[in-house]
Structure 1
Amino acid sequence: MGCRLPYWVALCLLGAVSMDPGVIQTPKHLVTGTTRSVTLKCKQHLGHNAMYWYKQSVQKPPKLMLAYNYKNLFENATASSRFLPDRSNNSQLDLQIKALEPEDSALYLCASSKGTALHLQLLPVHKPPGSKPGSCGGHQRSAQHFLEDPRDPRASCCL
């Protein structure tokens, strides 16, 4: 019988003391074994309607995982069914991670904001003479499309 070393997964949450603890994450840190499931909790009392989860792997910038506006999920970059968000109310966004894997070891950050790009008002813009409304490099895009998918490179130049 061979000896099998267990794999451990370290999940770290922002544990520094903030001047305004408007967003509270629990647990502050967690070390557990692979194949287990954990729930990361995030609660805010600022009255914000948008909440986000970010994942920061070692020596990498934070990457957006999930974004909610009210109870509506509008960004899910996890690409895995193992990550299950729960937005039971506007002040809380929990994240359950099932069947932990070694690559899940990271710093997990929660944030909130008053609104999202979906709620920004469009301001008037001066266009060059002869340009057609909604045209952009040969692609027709409306302001609504740009707001629905601001990551679309064809929409990023549309005004």
Structure 2
Amino acid sequence: MQVISLSLFWTIVIDIGAWLFFHLAIAAICLKLPPATFQNNAFWSRIYSWEKSGVLWQQLFRVKEWKGRLIDGASLFKRGYQKKSLHGTSREDLRTFAMETERAELTHWLSILPAPLFFLWNPPLVGWLMIVYAVVFNLPFIITQRYNRGRIKRMLS
């Protein structure tokens, strides 16, 4: 329900600023999480047997064809871990890469959560469009992380 009524100009400015803030703040918070946070095999990050070690994501979405075009947000932060390619092939390198895909996946799941707040200053239709934006923007990143982590976990086992 729209609580604040703004001009079209200010609504657009606030929408853009709010998304920028939420994306950057969530990414910065997730970057500060210690690696131990991602060692608990949580339900949201676990690779399930039905995912076939990432093969499912390739079959459904042809991930290999477009994943290279996604922006790696790690380049925005000094402490970010680039996930465009492996940093090595040792077991420790693979574990680190898998852990960083969990961090990235969590970042994108959490980046969807603020979308309902946009109903506060947007008309209902635009509020729903913000939810669609949040899902459509973040889902390719989530799918890519699950695809990559499934393949890495298979290599580690």
> Do both share a fold (TM > 0.5)?
no
Q: For the superposition of Structure 1 and Structure 2, which TM-score range results when normalised by the shorter chain?
A: under 0.3
Q: Which has the larger radius of gyration?
A: 1
Q: Going by fraction, where is strand more abundant, 1 or 2?
A: 1
Q: Larger relative contact order (C-alpha < 8 A, sep ≥ 6)? A: 2
Q: Going by fraction, where is helix more abundant, 1 or 2?
A: 2
